Structures are given as C-alpha cells and as structure tokens.
C-alpha cells in the first residue's frame, strides 16, 4: 500500500474527496452542451477539486475561440481571456486549489502555443493567472467563507468586457444564494433576459484587458 493511496483514503474519510471521471464529466456537460460551448457562459463548480469539470469546460470554450478568432491574434487573445473569466470554482483543500489553477493555466498555455501565430504574450499570461487566482477560491461552499487563519465571506468577481476594456465587480456568494430570485433568473446575463442583480461588494476601475493583472 503506497503513501499516496493512504493519503487518498484519508482524504476521502476526512473530506469526502472523490474525483469525477472524464467520461462522466463529458456526459454531464453534454446535457448542457450549448452552454458549455458558449465562450462567455459562466460556470461555477462549488467543490471543484483539482479541476476535472472546469478543465473540460475550458477545453470546449477554447475550441470555440479558435474556430471563431484564429485569423486575428488580438481577437484570439481577448476572447481566450473572456473564456477564462467565465470559469469559477470553490474548493476546500488548498493543494487542490493550487493544482486546479495550475491545471487550467497549463491547458490554456498548451492551447495558446498550438494556435498562436505570434510571439508569446507574457502580459496576457499574467492576466490569465490573475483571473484564475480570483475565480478559483480556497473556500467552503457550505459555510460560504474562505478557508484560512481569517475566514472571510466568499466574493466572486464579475468581469464585464466592453470592446477591449474590462470592468471588475465583486459580489457576495452568500447574498447570491440567499436571494430566492436567483432560482428563477440568471446571474450576470448578457442575453437581454430579466436577471437577479445582487449588491456590489467591491468595484474596480475599467481597464484594458491586458492591464487586469494591475487591477488588484
């Protein structure tokens, strides 16, 4: 019996950690195929582990980005960032949080290097990492708080694009779930539907999308 097996069993016992297989992930995402392949359709995984669901969602979105924008490097850069900003996760275990962020970035970087026609855009990569640090949260989806020495309410960032500019606003996870109307109306909809509009907790100046990493 290896150490990793013992650790795995302990984590199952202590935290109920069970990862979903790739086949099951794809089968479940196929039930919402149209949404999973929309570049800006937002997904939240409240117990994201090391990113099995989020990885496949990102893969699907990046395929669409490549199909639509491969002829323009600037458009490819921008809409690949849009895809990243649409993916959210909450995870209890810190090592899973770090691995999930790393895994999503690795998927992005491999994809970018395979489709990009220009030089690597290091500023874009910094923005990708910054968004992942905000969207993949070390927290407890049951208590709706972050995990650490000082627990704080979980805050999700909304990233709204207007041409090449981005507006970031923060919203409380607790408030989103407590409001009953969220069950019937979408959050952050850009389709012209009636939406639930939560109270803004924090707001940041609008910046060019390549300056997001400076928008702390």
| pLDDT at site 34 | 74
Q: Please, which pLDDT band fits residue 2 given cuts at 50, 70 and 90?
A: very low
What's the average model confidence in pLDDT over 57-84? 95
Which residue has better confidence, 197 or 132? 132
Which residue has better confidence, 32 or 190? 32
* pLDDT(52) > 80: yes
| pLDDT at site 182 | 42
Which residues are CB-neighbours of 102 under 8 A, at least 6 positions away?
A: none
What's the average model confidence in pLDDT over 83-87? 96
Average pLDDT for the chain = 82
Q: Which residues of 157-170 are buried (b: 16+ CB within 10 A; e: fewer)?
A: bbbebeeeebebbe
- Beta strand 87-91 pairing with 200-203: unpaired
* pTM of this structure: 0.80
């Amino acid at each position: 019996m290896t150490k990793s097996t013992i650790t795995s069993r302990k984590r199952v016992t202590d935290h109920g950690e069970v990862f979903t297989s790739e086949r099951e992930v794809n089968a479940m995402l196929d039930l919402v195929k149209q949404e999973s392949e929309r570049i800006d359709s937002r997904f939240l995984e409240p117990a994201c582990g090391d990113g099995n669901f989020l990885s496949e969602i990102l893969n699907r979105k990046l395929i669409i980005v490549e199909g639509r924008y491969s002829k323009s490097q600037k458009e490819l850069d921008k809409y690949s960032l849009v895809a990243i900003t649409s993916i959210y996760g909450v995870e209890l275990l810190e090592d899973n949080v770090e691995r999930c962020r790393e895994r999503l970035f690795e998927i992005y970087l491999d994809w970018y290097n395979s489709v990009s026609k220009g030089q690597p855009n290091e500023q874009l990569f910094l923005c990708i990492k910054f968004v992942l640090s905000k969207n993949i949260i070390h927290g407890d989806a049951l208590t709706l708080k972050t995990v650490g020495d000082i627990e704080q309410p979980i805050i999700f960032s909304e990233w709204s694009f207007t041409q090449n500019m981005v507006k970031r606003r923060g919203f409380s996870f607790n408030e989103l779930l407590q409001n009953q109307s969220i069950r019937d109306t979408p959050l952050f909809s850009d389709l012209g539907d009636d939406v639930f509009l939560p109270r803004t907790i924090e707001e940041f100046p609008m910046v060019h999308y390549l300056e997001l990493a400076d928008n702390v």
